[in-house]
A and B are shown apart, each in its own frame.
Chain A
Amino acid sequence: MTHVAPAPAPTGAAVDGETSRRRGWGWLLLVPGMLYLAIFFVFPTIQLFLTSLYDPSGNYVQGYTLTWHFANYVDAIRDTWNLFVRSFVYAGIATAVCLLLGYPLAYAIAFKAGRWKNFMLVLVIAPFFTSFLLRTLSWKTILADQGPVADFLRTIQILPEDGRLLATPLAVIAGLIYNFMPFMTLPLFASLDKVDYRLIEASSDLYSSPLTGFRKVTFPLSLPGVVAGTLLTFIPASGDYINAEILGTPKQYMVGNRIQAAFLTEHDYPLAASLSLTLMLIVVLMVVVYVRRVGTEELV
């Protein structure tokens, strides 16, 4: 990405025709992806939007009528704003910790692992070989009141005698961190691995201590990975409900739990749809602000 040369200026009409013909073919490659997006994203989103405006007095047996009932959104936000806040706080903490843990890991794999590089990458991906649900369930065992971790923490007196790990915000956030760690590590690795080691040598030749060299050269060059990793972690984490469901209690429920319950238990489709769209909108806004802040300039 960093070394893309500016497109050469066309030298004549013949060249012009040539490029536009080539471009025409290039667009064709987008068709499958576009079709996929249209069928599985655009169409369901429109459907979801319409559902969110149904008259809430209907029910799923007798059906709903579309009455453009925008008050659904007001109701949804009024009743669940604290869940939104909690979701973003949990997801934010989880993303920050993933970055703090994932960056050194990705750095070590990219620069220090040598011939163990591929093996270590496999280890990073290894959790995916087991289902998400199963792994979260086993965390329940690990964090259980009589489990080894809680026992140990009680022994060294960090955890009080009646203290719990399970069913606390800590457990939910730990679950999020664990489950989304690879989504942070892999993009970080991909951009760190591309950093030319000779640039680091050059920075040290130009009076940068290892720390300054990292701050001025390595880190800025890894920013695309930081942006990709944080987005890939934060977005799914803020909509997650499995971790809160399994490792928490209703006191730790996130907005995802509410949406899930509204859709699948209460069958209150207008509420579920308006919550989903509100979540989507807030996340998109946050992403836009974030990407603007970090600056596309840095992402050459």
Chain B
Amino acid sequence: MVETNQDLHLEDLTKRFGDFAAVRDLSLTVPNGSFFALLGPSGCGKTTTLRMVAGLEDPTAGRIRMGDQDITALRPYKRPVNTVFQSYALFPHLTIFENVAFGLRRRGIKDYRQKTLDMIELVQLGPYAGRKPAQLSGGQQQRVALGRALINEPGVLLLDEPLGALDLKLRRQMQIELKRIQTEIEVTFVHVTHDQEEAMTMADTIAVMNHGVIEQMGAPGELYENPVTTFVANFLGQSNLIMTDIIDGAGAEVMVDCQGQKIGVSSERSHAKGRKAWLGIRPEKIFASHAHEAERTDSNVLTGGRISDVSFVGVSTQYLVAMPWDQELMVFEQNTGRRPLFENGDEVDLSWSSEHAFLLDADQDAHAGMMRPEDRE
């Protein structure tokens, strides 16, 4: 179905619109058959990147290759890629069958009928083949868009926020279905999204984009557990970032002075270059215990906290803990029911396993990549 060595290579890709650089010197390789996600906030350049791969946007500089073939200058209708558009862009004057058959018929493939019917079955729209797109629900239209692209057996399938228009429940369901289809047909998927949960659920590899460049690229777990920038730390999940001074960066553990308390972080997880660093720790990795009861085995305890807010959210409880240096840290605790919840004003110490903290360069904005309330869904 797909030739081997069909990896997608983007090399120093740049796109300018007037003075504005939407994408800057972007290089990445998408291995054949992988599920790759371009993740970032709106305006980060991810859709522009996708459109350049599709051929709908001409790069200002750089090259796009598929395997050994340079496709940078190919017209979109000559490229071995197909797109699932954000708004689906189904042809309103054609039936579902005609929409799905469109690509095959344009390429003059004779036995398009059976293939089209098979694809309509694969996306579970059998009874709707004769209908027009306007007669289908959003989720069904989404599947038509998917089938219409997939039937062409593209080397790479591009998905531009394909689930953005669906409600939360349907989106979760489609995420699983997309992943199933991708595994089944082994086509490379390049998926553009601003939804970090969606990217982490589906993708093998995520490239986090911001301001036209890739901030970090890797497997979802790796990005989440070991972010290298404050943007990634905040955009994927949530992080507590505390300003620290580096005392000793020589050993296997980097020792930092965290507002007067000594903390150690594994040197593999230290991405700080200067004398100061942001100490990062995920809220769910922190364990709160009543003051002076924490086990002082590692150099990973912060004392002197006081619970300042308790939010019960069902599966977990989210605490805000006011620290002596006038910062509130987030702590999430699963509601296992094994111990009573803390109350406002309780004195607590915070601890974590030393492999869970990370150090980031201090000259970055601690709020980079934080979702503004209007971005939340």
Contact = CB atoms under 8 A, between A and B. Distances in A.
Which bucket holds chain B's interface residue count? 20 to 34
B56 interface: yes
Given A205-B76, A206-B148, A2 B134 contact: yes
Interface string A276-300: 0000000000000000000000101
Contacts of A198: 85, 87, 89
Contacts of B152: 206-207
Which 8 A-B residue pairs are closest in the complex by CB-CB distance?
A: A202-B89, A206-B103, A207-B106, A2-B92, A198-B89, A204-B76, A205-B83, A207-B77
A161 interface: no
Interface stretch (A3-11, A146-154, A232-240): A3-11
B64 to A, nearest CB: 15
B91 A202 contact: yes
Contacts of B85: 198, 201-202, 205
A203 B102 contact: yes
Contact of B82 (A6, A199, A205, A300): A205
B93 interface: yes
B60 interface: no
Nearest to A2: B92
Contact of A3 (B75, B91, B134, B148): B134
A79 interface: no
Given A2-B134, A202-B85, A204-B76, A300 B148 contact: no
B241 interface: no
Contact of B91 (A4, A199, A204, A298): A199
A220 B94 CA distance: 10
Nearest to B131: A6
A217 B103 contact: no
Interface string B72-83: 000111000111
Interface in A128-177: none
A201 B145 CA distance: 13
Contacts of B102: 203, 206, 216
Interface string B93-114: 1000000001100110000000
A82 interface: no
Contacts of B103: 206-207
Interface of B: 54-56, 75-77, 81-83, 85, 87, 89-93, 102-103, 106-107, 132, 134-135, 148-149, 152
A249 interface: no
Contacts of B106: 206-208, 212, 216
Interface of A: 2-6, 196, 198-199, 201-209, 212-213, 216-217, 220-221, 298, 300
B17 to A, nearest CB: 15
A128 to B, nearest CB: 32
A205 B56 contact: yes
25 contacts: A3-B92, A4-B134, A198-B87, A199-B91, A201-B76, A201-B85, A201-B89, A202-B85, A202-B90, A204-B55, A204-B56, A204-B77, A205-B81, A206-B82, A206-B103, A206-B148, A206-B149, A207-B103, A207-B152, A208-B77, A208-B106, A216-B106, A217-B93, A220-B93, A221-B93
Contacts of B132: 300
Q: Which of B91, B149, B152 lies at the interface centre, i.e. has the most chain A CB atoms within 10 A of its CB? A: B91
B89 A196 contact: yes
A2 B56 CA distance: 25
Nearest to A207: B106
B93 A2 contact: yes
Contacts of A196: 87, 89
Contacts of A212: 106
A207 to B, nearest CB: 4
A203 B75 CA distance: 12
Nearest to B106: A207
Contact of A209 (B55, B56, B77): B77
Contacts of A208: 77, 106
Q: Which of A206, A207, A216 lies at the interface centre, i.e. has the most chain B CB atoms within 10 A of its CB? A: A206
B77 A6 contact: no
Nearest to B148: A206
Contacts of A213: 77
Contacts of A5: 134-135
Given A198-B85, A207-B152, A300-B134, 12 more contacts: A2-B93, A201-B56, A201-B89, A202-B83, A202-B85, A203-B91, A204-B75, A205-B56, A205-B82, A208-B77, A208-B106, A298-B93
Nearest to A206: B103
B96 to A, nearest CB: 14
Q: Which of A6, A202, A221 lies at the interface centre, i.e. has the most chain B CB atoms within 10 A of its CB? A: A202
Nearest to A1: B92
Nearest to A195: B92
Nearest to A199: B89
Nearest to A299: B93
B82 to A, nearest CB: 6
A296 to B, nearest CB: 12
Contacts of A298: 93
Q: Which of B76, B85, B107 lies at the interface centre, i.e. has the most chain A CB atoms within 10 A of its CB? A: B76
A205 B99 CA distance: 13
A217 B82 CA distance: 17
B77 A221 contact: no
Nearest to A213: B77
A69 B20 CA distance: 80
Contacts of A209: 75, 77
A205 B92 contact: no
Nearest to A197: B89
Contacts of A3: 92, 134
A198 B51 CA distance: 12
